[in-house]
Amino acid sequence: MAWEIKEEGENLLKIDIDGRLVAAVAPTLREDVLSRMKDGTNVLFDLRKMVHIDSSGLGVLVQVLQKAKSSGGRVVLAALQPAPKIVFDITKVSRVFEIVPTVEDAKF
């Protein structure tokens, strides 16, 4: 799996996920994202290229959401693909995230 984090504006991180967000990479991604967040940071995850996610990957997304909410920011998941969406639906994690069909639909 690969990811790219771009700072877009003063308080927006755009994170492109490519591949499988699983236990082997989750701790490194979590550390990378959380270390770049400051008070009021909004996070946009571009999930167009994410093909799979496991519970460790979900944990990273939830931790980012918790940090953002506690400091006045938001997290938006964009372009969630069908296979990973099944995991979100089964675990009911989709209820806690703002999920939009495309990156362009994410408004901050």
pLDDT by residue (tens digit) across 14-31?
A: 999 999 999 999 999 999
Please give the residue range of the domain that contains residue 83: 2-105
The dihedral through the CA atoms of 49, 55, 56, 60 has a sign that is: positive
Under the banding of pLDDT at 50, 70 and 90, the label for residue 13 is very high
Nearest to 47 by CA among 83, 71, 89, 95: 83
Please state, in angstroms and rounded to a whole number, the distance separating the CA atoms of residues 60 and 27.
Answer: 8
Total number of domains constituting the chain: 1
CATH number for the domain spanning 13: value is 3.30.750.24
- Is residue 9's pLDDT more than 90? no
Q: Who's near 62: CB < 8 A, 6+ residues apart?
A: 93, 96
- Is residue 92's pLDDT more than 90? yes
Q: If you search the block for the tokens 């675990």, which residue do you land on? A: 91
pLDDT in tens, 46-81: 999 999 999 999 999 999 999 999 999 999 999 999
